[in-house]
Structure 1
Amino acid sequence: MQTLQIDLFALPIRYVTLFAAFFVTIVMGLFIVFQAYHGYRRNESRRMLFLAVGLAFVTVVPPVISLGTASFGFDVDIYVFYLPLGTAISQIVGLSFIIYSLALRSGS
């Protein structure tokens, strides 16, 4: 079995830029999610837990889905329909968690 080798210097700059943007987005999203989760652990607040989960679905999951899909090189239907649908569903789920965290009573 051959290992996959990618020469980063042979890739067009637009791909490297896109990967860098996805990477920065994922790292920043994980940082925000970690801070919200740390707030949950510190204060034992369910609101912060739901906020952390919602932020993960909004900030981390869509770029991971996009990056994962791009690395496999699927046909056009995946990019035109399923990828936008998957990221939209992830954002809907994440926003639902965030709204739920805001609607919880402060004693929870």
Structure 2
Amino acid sequence: MIEHTLQLGLPERPLRHLRLLGEGVGVLLGLVIAYIALRGYYQNRSRAMLFVGVGFLLVLGVPAVATLLAFVVPVSVTTLNLVIQGFELAGLGSILYGLRYEP
């Protein structure tokens, strides 16, 4: 049997924890960016910042919540991935629109 961590020579368990930590930091940074963008919208009434902030929430916030809910609500991995991918695509579209928005 070939181990997945053969190339690094590290045990698998610490790599799982490291990956989980990395995911958590990524989600946290994304939510901070969304908060700053939404705060910019409320201060300046910039519609572009609204779309950027909502986009970051859709890309990082909703998939994180959906993944946590999957531990409580029984759902197939395929369904969960489709839902997450749908929100990510909608979020990326919102960010793109916000960056290209011209009043």
Secondary structure of the 2:74 match is coil
Is 1:98 aligned with 2:98?
no
5 Å-filtered alignment, 1:11-50, equals 17=17, 23-50=24-51
1:38 is aligned with what amino acid?
R
Structure 2-normalised TM-score? 0.71
Aligned to 1:68: 69
Partners of 1:22 and 1:73 in 2: CA distance? 21
Question: Aligned to 2:83, which of 81, 86, 102?
Answer: 86
Q: 1:67 to 1:21 in 2, by over 3 A?
A: farther
User: How many aligned positions are there?
Assistant: 89
In terms of mean alpha carbon deviation, does 94-103 or 47-56 score higher?
94-103
Gaps of 5+ in 2: 1-12
Corresponding residue of 2:5 = none
Change (3 A) 1:34 1:25: same
Compute the TM-score of the two structures, normalised by the length of structure 1.
0.68
